[in-house]
Chains A and B, each alone.
Chain A
């Protein structure tokens, strides 16, 4: 069983490396167009309902997938005003923190749940897997 467990770890870490690469390298170049629901809301005239509503949770540490503090000046296409917008690095770091963070949270949650296994439940394998 030892080699098999190792190989699952190799698989998992390779998969995590791929996920981190996607978040770190590709996400800064992702499309910034509105997604399906946002576009429908825009076209059908109900996007204001969200814009006029105070968010119920305002303590998100990395709002809108952009690491705070990393901004650059850019010209707003509609108004022509100079605005601050997040840099690609801000998005890449948000992706890195989020991907590694959720990996650790999910692993921790799974370990806690697994440990709560009822004591009387039969253990599937016979002899101890050493």
Chain B
């Protein structure tokens, strides 16, 4: 859902651009505290994997394709601020390097996919996690739901921006965008659960939001007081 030049008016471009710059600026500030020798390679790997996965458009109903977004994956693996930075960096490189997404819409694209699809969605994920039992399968279920919501909400924000810009009325753009992205979101959920599941199996300590107390060998998911 990379918005090209021409869809947004100046007001929407400026407002989303300022909001995006503010959040990413704060993310850069937070990154100083959060980056350590474990998260530096993970940040680079996340950016590379999400960039590559975003190239893999898969067919969805009716001559439409969808592709992985990765906001929820970044949020679950790295937390909101490093995750948001990863998605913003991917969008910046796609825009300047590959002419994907307009430069005047870069702020809106970062707003939709990094602010809403990654940073906000991290807190949604946190909330869902609190409602569920502390087990690996519940964690993965929360991951899947969050990934679906991330794509769904980002596409809704995109529709609202198109409507405010006078490009397409909300009554037209919103149901159309939400409808198609409700389908794309299912694939997003499946890929995110698969990737997080693999990382949990191999190196659970690299999943930053998997903060359930040490799962010592043999203890399974029994509670261990910290």
**Which residues of chain A have a CB within 8 Å of any CB of chain B?**
5, 7-9, 11-12, 15-16, 18-20, 22-23, 26-27, 30-37, 39-41, 43-44, 46, 49-65, 91, 94-95, 98-107, 109-111, 113-114, 116-118, 121
Inter-chain CA distance A98–B176, complex, in Å, is: 31
Interface flag for B14 (CB, 8 Å): no
Q: Is B119 an interface residue (CB 8 A)?
A: no
Residues of B close to A104: CB separation below 8 A:
44
Nearest neighbor of A91 in chain B, beta-carbon distance: B55
* Chain A residues in 8 Å Cβ range of B104: 56
Q: Closest approach, in angstroms, between the C-beta of B93 and any C-beta of chain A?
A: 5
Complex: A103 Cα to B97 Cα, angstroms: 14
CA distance A64 to B94 in the complex (A): 9
A40 to B180, CA, bound (A): 9
* Known contacts A15-B45, A44-B173, A118-B32: A99-B58 contact under CB 8 Å: no
The residue among A19, A104, A116 with the most chain B CB atoms within 10 A of its own CB is A19
Stretch binding the partner chain, chosen from B61-69, B120-128, B129-137: B61-69
Q: How distant is A64 from chain B, measured CB to nearest CB, in Å?
A: 6
The verdict on A116 contacting B4 (CB below 8 Å), with A16-B45, A36-B181, A107-B44 known, is no
* Interface of chain B residues 40 through 67 with chain A (CB within 8 A): 40-49, 51-53, 55-60, 62-67
Task: Let me know if B51 and A39 touch, CB within 8 A.
Answer: no
Chain B: CB-nearest residue to A114: B35
Inter-chain contacts of B96 with A (CB < 8 A): 57, 59-60
Residues of chain A lying within 8 A (CB to CB) of residue B90:
102
Residue of B nearest to A39 (CB): B64
Q: How far does the alpha carbon of A7 sit from the alpha carbon of B104 in the complex, in Å?
A: 42
Partner of B158, one of A11, A37, A52: A37
CB distance from B174 to the nearest CB of A (A): 10
- With a cutoff of 8 Å between Cβ atoms, the chain A residues found around residue B99 in the complex are 55, 57-58, 60, 63-64
In the complex, A87→B65 CA distance in Å? 20
B5 contacts which of A11, A50, A100 (Cβ < 8 Å)?
A: A50
Q: Does B80 lie at the interface of the complex (its beta carbon under 8 Å from any beta carbon of A)?
A: no
CA distance A118 to B184 in the complex (A): 42
Contact B65 A31 (CB under 8 A): yes
Interface core residue of A16, A40, A62, A103 (most chain B CB under 10 Å): A40
A35–B66 CB distance below 8 A: yes
User: Which residues in chain B, 1-26, are within 8 Å of chain A measured between CB atoms?
Assistant: 1-7
B16 to chain A, nearest CB (A): 15
Which residues in B have their C-beta under 8 angstroms from that of A54?
A: 5
